[in-house]
Structure 1
């Protein structure tokens, strides 16, 4: 039997001890089931023979059979459930040594969890540190979203950002860009909560401001000056009420005003802008890749980030996406910057085709919105573009979602 200890020196020590604790508990449960004539039995049979409810029978079966350590831990019954199982096994005449082995292994496991992690959720997070379980992490992020919504008093079904990039009509060495963004089914859970949805500033390097490019709303009749460039045709009606103010840092902030709570106050807020000569087109020593960022600060269920690249930009490579945390407030440049410590390492973005298939399951207006933007900007057809997409469910805000591609020297 493994004895719990508080003397450990590395994560490898923790992982090794955790494996022993969990595997011993699994072996003891499997031996118990064997003693009851239930070796390899299905959960329904375990429940019927031992008189257990279906949830507890399912946990016992999955825990004792799982070869995946993380999945096994998710199914360990609580201490009360373990005692129910042991009493049922005793009533079926299972040998007392097998019952004692389960009780001892369960005690060692719980002592280990308490001494090393404090609680089960923390233990599972520590156990997953060496390799992520996507299903478990998604469950955790969903719980984070639900808690965040309740705490902050807002939530949305979807947040999206779409960037369309082509050679500039004004300068052959620069790029023009269409930017579409917004929230779908944004809801307030408290009526007194305003929520910032845009911070207006720009830089073309990590530290140097650049306002040389030209920017214009796609729907100028609905937007003046620095106001949020709403596209009324794709927003909910009446239009979302927007407040704007300038912070002491000189940044212009746009916020959704307080309003009706719940589904009756649900709103869609869609914006669009046209940037001319916004970005450098060709490779240089300080322009070796294209990086485009979406800041995620709102509790949302789904995030969709698309980039459409004109077919003539053959020096732009395939896109990947990464996630960086903003909670620490790390510097944006220099030593220790946030991009040195990704929450999720770069993964290849989904290729949408050339021409791209633009449908998005959570944004019904999306194809119409893209066509509207191209018509307004007089950009011709999307058939001249290739597309890339990243979709994230329940982002653990605040996050920075990045789409990036190499720029070659051709």
Structure 2
């Protein structure tokens, strides 16, 4: 306890303090490493270090990268471990580099290790802190690697994974009511694989509710049928686009306008139940041109999947000057009430919707997609080859996040 105040006060380190201290420590380490390189007669390529000191290629590349960087923070992840640094120092001393020079390098490396331990506890966490501070190229380069690791871990824990989750919509004004829209939504899973046998796994979700200004949900006037206009839930399954054509599916009604589809009694491995597709027609959707001034797809990622693909096939002339927007959130509430502030957070992301021109375009990993969407359009009297296609593709979407992809009018309220 402090004799002057009688209390102990801990100083909270700000991002600026952390970055300033990290920069100073890494700059000193770089200076000392460069001195050792000069003591070796100057090193131009990592291959020189490999031959001179018998180092492995990765270590030689890391050392040269750190010593030559104009921005030490950007290469913090390349700083070798203590064992590797000792190996480099031993090799440098064997070629005549003075002990004072190598000792200074080891001291600087000890200061770096102390920095890591105090602020983060380990190198992996430290590297994330450095890259996240700027949310620059390093953050996004590492993001995919970590999302892939989450996919692998959650596949093991949940016993299920899929190669792709698809959400595709054909959107147009209703022929008999220009103030309302209709959407032919196709959704499903491709290359679904079970890692262990289970009684049921959810593969389809649909709802017809909207949210009032006070956050309370209510049944809207939006109607939901199958593509054929049938209201029988079992007919939402698009058997002709599934593998096999008749997977064992139960479709059940939940509260607040929800309908769920579950795959039953799936087997492990190559079950042939690899693709399940569902189709739902929504109509009497209030025209967003005169209301919200935005529309799109919002999906909670509740399965480990390798790719998430969203297509919006939009009637020509509708929302033609609207702008794409994508954001990813974690901590979102699974109920119909918004999560309290601080729980729901937006993740840094460079995801973008891409305009692909007219008509359904091929999707990597789903060969039959253009044909499927063309046939669905033809059955509804729609020439989708003339519809404008916006697409979002996310590799290894983060399990437990919510991804929103939308088109927003330039004058829409923020």
> Shorter-chain-normalised TM-score: which range?
0.7 to 0.9
Aligned residue number for residue 25 of structure 1: 29
Aligned residue number for residue 80 of structure 1: 83
TM-score by length of 2: 0.86
Aligned residue number for residue 157 of structure 1: 163
> Using a 3 Å threshold, how does the CA distance of structure 1 residues 123 and 235 change in structure 2: closer, same or farther?
same
TM-score by length of 1: 0.87
Structure 1 position 357, deviation (Å): 5.6
Structure 1 position 107, deviation (Å): 0.9
Residues 1:283 and 2:283 aligned together? no
Q: 1:319 pairs with 315, 320, 324, which one?
A: 324
Alignment partners' CA distance in 2, 1:54 and 1:345:
32
> Using a 3 Å threshold, how does the CA distance of structure 1 residues 216 and 249 change in structure 2: closer, same or farther?
closer
Q: 1:15 pairs with 10, 19, 29, which one?
A: 19
Residues 1:134 and 2:140 aligned together? yes
Residues 1:214 and 2:223 aligned together? yes
Structure 1 position 281, deviation (Å): 4.4
Alignment partners' CA distance in 2, 1:134 and 1:358:
27
Aligned residue number for residue 91 of structure 1: 94
Q: 2:407 pairs with 387, 390, 405, which one?
A: 405
Residues 1:366 and 2:369 aligned together? yes
> Using a 3 Å threshold, how does the CA distance of structure 1 residues 306 and 384 change in structure 2: closer, same or farther?
same
Structure 1 position 326, deviation (Å): 3.5
CA contact (8 A) 1:219 1:272 kept: no
CA contact (8 A) 2:151 2:398 kept: yes
Alignment of 1:242-391 (within 5 A): 242-245=249-252, 251-264=258-271, 267-284=274-291, 287-314=292-319, 317-326=322-331, 332-333=337-338, 336=341, 341-344=345-348, 348-353=352-357, 355-356=358-359, 358-379=361-382, 381-391=383-393
> Using a 3 Å threshold, how does the CA distance of structure 1 residues 218 and 252 change in structure 2: closer, same or farther?
closer
Residues 1:198 and 2:204 aligned together? yes
Alignment partners' CA distance in 2, 1:328 and 1:276:
27
Structure 1 position 310, deviation (Å): 0.8
Structure 1 position 27, deviation (Å): 2.4
Structure 1 position 205, deviation (Å): 3.0
CA contact (8 A) 2:218 2:256 kept: no
Aligned residue number for residue 34 of structure 1: 38
Alignment partners' CA distance in 2, 1:7 and 1:60:
34
> Using a 3 Å threshold, how does the CA distance of structure 1 residues 344 and 161 change in structure 2: closer, same or farther?
farther
Aligned residue number for residue 236 of structure 1: 243
Residues 1:61 and 2:64 aligned together? yes
Aligned residues: 397
Unmatched 5+ stretches in structure 1: 1-5
Supply the RMSD in Å over aligned alpha carbons.
2.9
> Using a 3 Å threshold, how does the CA distance of structure 1 residues 186 and 111 change in structure 2: closer, same or farther?
same
Matched residue of 2:309: which SS? strand
